[in-house]
């Protein structure tokens, strides 16, 4: 079986390993599609993410879908939830499985992810998907879920003005979800022009190329001078956090979704303090697969729009290079053709 192991900064090794054997409560899944996430790129380029460093060769990948290979559910098409909570701790019992104190998460540097042809995975983390969704669609349910979790933290109300600062795939999903949540004005920034075009297609009403902060006046004008009620930082850089704080209206909310390469986030304190902003930090997602499936089925969220490249497993190194070069939005790998 072909698997992709990360062995160091920029070091990916496609190797043969033994077929997995499902344990109690697990099923064997043939992996059909895996998206390359921004967090995968942190691991790929930096051998770590936040305060967690690579301690051993690990399989990356957590945005995935496939088909159950054997057993009573053989042939069932599923999204692979990367989170494996204990279901027993205080956080799990309170309904916050994403804060589980004993959580295992695919490709996080300790738990092997899904860049492989076959995986043994807990049945409780295999989510059946409708036939209308392709495997690539189903793999994109995970980043869409991350976006939905952040949107809920923002508490958007109908008629709100919203800002999205960073228009990678998560940013695009934030724009889509803000629109269907009732936002009437959605302003967005990015450093890449093609991503601003994608933002406009997703529903942004005004966009601006990042220009050392000078773009903020243009976007404030697009909100009739009001600023935004809810601002989402989705780039993982301090400049975008400062933009979010700068454009947030008094009493507004800033939701930090992006992951900083330096494991440190800063912003100018005085405007945040004077405006009494609420600042929230989004952590992955809770259990939202049923909701995001319904949104896609209803045509309210478009997961296909963010996928700009797809590669077979034997071209996975090219896939990572393409994703790292940021020449498109989401890159998908097909471990099993």
Domain segments of the chain as ranges: 2-140+303-334, 147-281
Look at the pTM and tell me if it is higher than 0.75. yes
295: region left, alpha or beta (phi > 0 left; psi from -120 to 50 alpha): alpha
What distance in Å separates the CA atoms of residue 41 and residue 142, rounded to the nearest whole number? 16
What distance in Å separates the CA atoms of residue 164 and residue 212, rounded to the nearest whole number? 17
Give the per-residue pLDDT at 8.
85
Alpha helices for 193-286 (secondary structure H): 193-202, 215-222, 238-247, 269-274
Closest to 257 measured CA to CA, from 58, 103, 80, 37: 37
Query: pLDDT digits over 124-144, tens only?
Result: 999 999 999 999 999 999 999
> CATH homologous superfamily for 2-140+303-334?
Medium-chain alcohol dehydrogenases, catalytic domain (3.90.180.10)
What distance in Å separates the CA atoms of residue 114 and residue 78, rounded to the nearest whole number? 13
Residues 195/221, Cβ–Cβ less than 8 Å: no
Query: pLDDT digits over 91-128, tens only?
Result: 999 999 999 999 999 998 889 999 999 999 999 999 99
Residues 41/94, Cβ–Cβ less than 8 Å: no
> What is the DSSP code string of 110-176?
SS--S-BSEEEEEGGGEEE--TTS-HHHHHTHHHHHHHHHHHHHHT--TT-EEEEE--SHHHHHHHH
Query: pLDDT digits over 13-26, tens only?
Result: 999 999 999 999 99
Confidence of residue 53 (pLDDT cuts 50, 70, 90): confident
- The CATH code of domain 147-281 reads 3.40.50.720
What distance in Å separates the CA atoms of residue 39 and residue 161, rounded to the nearest whole number? 28
What's the token pair of residue 260?
């900083």
Contacts of 211 (CB under 8 A, 6+ apart): none
């Amino acid at each position: 079986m072909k698997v992709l192991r990360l062995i160091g900064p920029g070091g990916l090794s496609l190797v043969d390993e033994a077929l997995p054997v499902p344990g109690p409560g697990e099923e064997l899944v043939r992996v059909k599609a895996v998206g390359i996430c921004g967090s995968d790129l942190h691991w790929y380029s930096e051998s770590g993410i936040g305060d967690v460093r690579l301690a051993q060769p690990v399989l990356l990948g957590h945005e995935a879908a496939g088909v159950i290979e054997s057993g009573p559910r053989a042939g069932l098409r599923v999204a692979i939830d990367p989170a494996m909570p204990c279901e027993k701790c205080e956080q799990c019992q309170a309904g916050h499985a994403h804060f589980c104190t004993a959580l295992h998460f695919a490709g996080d540097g300790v738990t092997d992810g899904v860049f492989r042809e076959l995986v043994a995975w807990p049945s409780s983390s295999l989510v059946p998907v409708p036939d209308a969704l392709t495997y690539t669609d189903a793999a994109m349910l995970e980043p869409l879920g991350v976006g939905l979790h952040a949107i809920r933290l923002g508490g958007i109300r109908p008629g709100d003005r919203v800002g999205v600062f960073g228009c990678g795939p998560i940013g695009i999903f934030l724009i889509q979800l803000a629109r269907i949540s009732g936002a009437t004005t959605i302003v967005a920034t990015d450093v890449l022009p093609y991503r601003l075009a994608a933002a406009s297609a997703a529903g942004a009403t005004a966009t601006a190329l990042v220009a050392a902060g000078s773009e903020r006046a243009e976007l404030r004008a697009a909100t009739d001078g009001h600023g935004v009620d809810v601002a989402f930082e989705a780039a993982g850089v301090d400049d975008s956090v400062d933009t979010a704080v700068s454009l947030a209206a008094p009493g507004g909310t800033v939701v930090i979704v992006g992951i900083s390469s330096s494991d440190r986030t800063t912003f100018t304190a005085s405007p945040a303090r004077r405006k009494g902003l609420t600042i929230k930090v989004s952590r992955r997602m809770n259990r939202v697969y049923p909701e995001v499936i319904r949104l896609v089925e209803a045509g309210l969220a478009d997961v296909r729009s963010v996928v700009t490249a797809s590669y077979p497993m034997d071209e996975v190194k090219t896939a990572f290079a393409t994703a790292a070069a940021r020449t498109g939005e989401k890159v998908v790998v097909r471990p099993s053709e």
